[in-house]
Structure 1
Amino acid sequence: MKKKIDEVNIYEKHYQQIYKHVKNDPYAQSLGIQLTTFEAGFAEAMLEVRSHMVNAYGTVHGAVLYALADHAFSAACNAYGKTSLGLSTTIQFIESAKPGDKIVARATEVKRNFRTGFYRIDILHGENLIATMEAVSYRKNHYFIEHDEND
């Protein structure tokens, strides 16, 4: 019988390598998104809304909120070094943000098994919830880091 892989141990043992991988997202970097917290099954990302990120009404574009939430989701679901891809997302926009606002996305793992992961991502301006996203990841049978059977 094959030994069950301890993914929390992989996260702890290979933290720097995994962190470097998930942080190095060219699209998120192009928007100025910063990964501020990275833990097993949890990630937080921050963005300062700039004037070119707004819609015709002067509020942050929904695509910017989505990109921030998606980056936090990606970091959280890939924290174990196993290649994980977004399978589906549903986002609800609750309030708006404006240029100069610092907004934060917090992705929390709700449940994870061998093939799927379920996440809730809250997007906040201060303590105000401005959007929320539910997301499901597909976990491939591939690790993007080198690890041995003792992990």
Structure 2
Amino acid sequence: MRSTPVPQIDQQSQAHPILAADHMSEWMGIVVEESTAEAARISLRLRKEMVNGFGIAHGGIIFAFADTCFALACNDPAGDPAVITVASGADINFVAPARQGETLTAVGALVSRTGRSGVYDVRVTVGDRVVAEFRGRSRTIARPAT
């Protein structure tokens, strides 16, 4: 997968409304560094419960981390509260391992949007080392009743 260059995004609030009840992201310890209408940057320090029997980050953890960045990039923190943008599909390519104690960074951005459908790329890194490339496909829908 070719990753689209991620635009520079200005610092905004570290809080994002969709994380208010996201217990998975809370458990993972995800930190929102930046979030705008079409891009996001988050980070995570890998803990011992996040690595597999080989001593490297579990693929499910990396996928969940990239998926969270995708969700933040898809959902404008100041957007219309009557709609949400959800994943309609996603793929990930694991490029290099990450280890306990390392800090992952994910940067995601909109690649294209047509109507209610979008495509986003997320790059997961440890420093300058690319760990994974994620491509998410999104769909904007009416917010379900709670």
CA drift at 1:46? 0.5
Instruction: State whether residues 23 and 35 of structure 1, in contact with CA within 8 Å, keep that contact through their aligned partners in structure 2.
Output: no
- Select which of 49, 59, 67 maps to 2:46: 49
- Distance change (3 Å), C-alpha of 1:143 and 1:40: farther
Instruction: State whether residues 106 and 123 of structure 2, in contact with CA within 8 Å, keep that contact through their aligned partners in structure 1.
Output: yes
2:30 aligns to what? 33
Q: CA offsets per residue over residues 27-72 of structure 1, 9 Å max, x none? A: 1111111111101200011100011110110000001101110100
Which segment drifts farther, 109-118 or 39-48? 109-118
Identity %: 26
CA drift at 1:20? 3.6
Q: TM-score if structure 1 supplies the norm length?
A: 0.78
Matches within 5 A, 1:124-143: 124-142=125-143
Matches within 5 A, 1:11-90: 20-24=16-20, 25-79=22-76, 80-81=79-80, 82-90=83-91
Instruction: State whether residues 123 and 133 of structure 2, in contact with CA within 8 Å, keep that contact through their aligned partners in structure 1.
Output: yes
What SS class does the counterpart of residue 73 from structure 2 fall into? helix
Looking at structure 2, the residues matched to 53 and 133 of structure 1 have their Cα atoms a distance apart, in angstroms, of 19
Query: Unaligned 5+ residue runs, structure 2?
Result: 1-11
Which segment drifts farther, 133-142 or 62-71? 133-142
Looking at structure 2, the residues matched to 117 and 78 of structure 1 have their Cα atoms a distance apart, in angstroms, of 11
Question: Post-superposition, which runs of at least 4 consecutive aligned residues in structure 1 deviate over 3 A?
Answer: 141-144
CA drift at 1:22? 2.4
What value does the CA root-mean-square deviation take over the aligned residues? 2.0
Higher share in helix: 1
- Aligned positions, number: 128
Q: TM-score if structure 2 supplies the norm length?
A: 0.81
Query: Unaligned 5+ residue runs, structure 1?
Result: 1-14, 145-151
Instruction: State whether residues 73 and 109 of structure 2, in contact with CA within 8 Å, keep that contact through their aligned partners in structure 1.
Output: yes
